[in-house]
Structure 1
């Protein structure tokens, strides 16, 4: 792999990864569309706050239109809803045999493949806790699963090199031959996180709430059924067991998975999801449509109904538009879809 690595999207995920690569002695260039963030990084450096690996690095950052050169390896770290625009913008900066690593939430690999092909797309799964705080500052709040794999499962020299690189970020990083299983597992977990974001309560409080688990279970089971219709075996991570949300899974497995998710999230200083932060703090559009939309569309294609997911998406949209407050009552309303 040639140098430098290009991080496209210097927010929570991209900044955390890029800072680790710099600590490991790699050359890294950052790209972001936020002019204030780019200016602050160039002027003051990149600051990583938090209990895991606080750091400060001098960095090179550009706005997309100012980026020089072409790159062999690009880590795409933008939010799912910006994937389409980002991949179009970055293609001119790829070398002829360059490739993109999708370090995002969702099934964005499918979007990337549509533009540059499967051979130039690398799957990546991340579940660590991090938040963009202010220009030049990111908070890395808790370790979580980091997984990388070729879309076809082959252990190529490229993926072996990338796995070694990811180990510089987290020494537990996993190399997998089932990256789609991890991505669909995260889709199920992500549906639960969108459910928690309907409230002002913490992730732990909602996952640990007896009044919340029934509707969250049904929500997860919808995504599990869609994954099964795709012939995918979802993979577990960080206490989350997607098999517990499979059809006819025993209640004991569900209870154990919820308890383990609660235990894992208690270890992080990140109390709320990035979804909640977009709704409550940054007051901007979330990744809801881009992340949950593929669950609905795939379900329709395969004849799997997803009424809870569709209603959840509608409720998140209402919150985004200022038409619905964040409240635990929203979960009660969502549960009515189950009746």
Structure 2
């Protein structure tokens, strides 16, 4: 396939490199000029325990993108979705489409800009980090799921899936992409909680002192999803049914144990959220990922006090007003 990958960082860089290696015609777009220059000069390198290889590819900054494209994978941070979708829209072919390969409910944002019929949903859970210009760490495999927003199985979806199998052999098509996206929101809320500390994902989720916090966060998201008539889907040890409000505690703990086991196997020990805060010193996706949970919950009469407080804690860390430390989780525990 001929694919334009908009955002050549952790997610887009890994997927794109595999597709290039498999023979697909891939063009990268990234706003980081140094990253674009490195790709054009020396190629895009994937490193880590899964694979080590370098591919030759063309990369452009957004203002220099040439031509129109049939498929665009949007792989930018959630808070940059609207601006990126507006910029890429002129580069969509007449029958082209955009695939949201992101965290959150960005399909809604993209659909408002390019049209619902030109938007495909995607869910990914592999571990990757941008290390330096031209170099991406692929730390651990994870679920890859594709779906039309209306649940249909279309020729374009089948073709996209065939291409994605060259990246992840276990990639699947679903008729419930919203279920996966809401499932990831619940897991994402738990990941944001781990990111207010300096501990690894696995160590945080394994700490019995805060099991109640992680369970309660998952339950808040599940309440909103259920009220929104969504059937959440599980993945990689995360079982959304384990965080339904009436689920026995031992079932929730079993899912946390499964999530710990999954994360222990990855070379990516901390979340991208933690990396944004601790390493890259930049704003996170908290408003774009967790904000809609609070907003949709409020519109449906579902209270989300832990999620709202977690957003405040992340903002305080972003602003330099709060250090990253395990005791931050006590702020959430007080609300239980």
TM-score, normalised to structure 1's length? 0.98
Task: Please name the residue that 1:44 is paired with.
Answer: 42
Q: How do 1:65-144 and structure 2 match up within 5 A?
A: 65-144=63-142
CA RMSD of superposed structures (Å): 0.7
Q: How do 1:98-247 and structure 2 match up within 5 A?
A: 98-247=96-245
Shift of 1:35: 0.6
Paired with 1:278 and 1:320, the residues of 2 have a C-alpha distance of 9
Paired with 2:270 and 2:260, the residues of 1 have a C-alpha distance of 12
Structure 1 counterpart of 2:269, from 251, 268, 271: 271
Paired with 1:80 and 1:37, the residues of 2 have a C-alpha distance of 20
Find the residue that maps to 1:212 and give its secondary structure. Answer: helix
Q: How many residue pairs align between the two structures?
A: 336
Paired with 2:328 and 2:291, the residues of 1 have a C-alpha distance of 20
- For structure 2, the 5+ residue unaligned runs are none
- For structure 1, the 5+ residue unaligned runs are none
Q: Deviations over 1:8-56 (max 9, x none)?
A: 0000000000011111110000000001110111111101011112210
Q: Deviations over 1:251-270 (max 9, x none)?
A: 12101100100110011011
Task: Please name the residue that 1:300 is paired with.
Answer: 298
Paired with 2:99 and 2:49, the residues of 1 have a C-alpha distance of 27
Segments of 4+ moved more than 2 angstroms: none
Find the residue that maps to 1:337 and give its secondary structure. Answer: coil
Find the residue that maps to 2:123 and give its secondary structure. Answer: strand
Task: Please name the residue that 2:283 is paired with.
Answer: 285
Paired with 1:68 and 1:240, the residues of 2 have a C-alpha distance of 41
TM-score, normalised to structure 2's length? 0.99
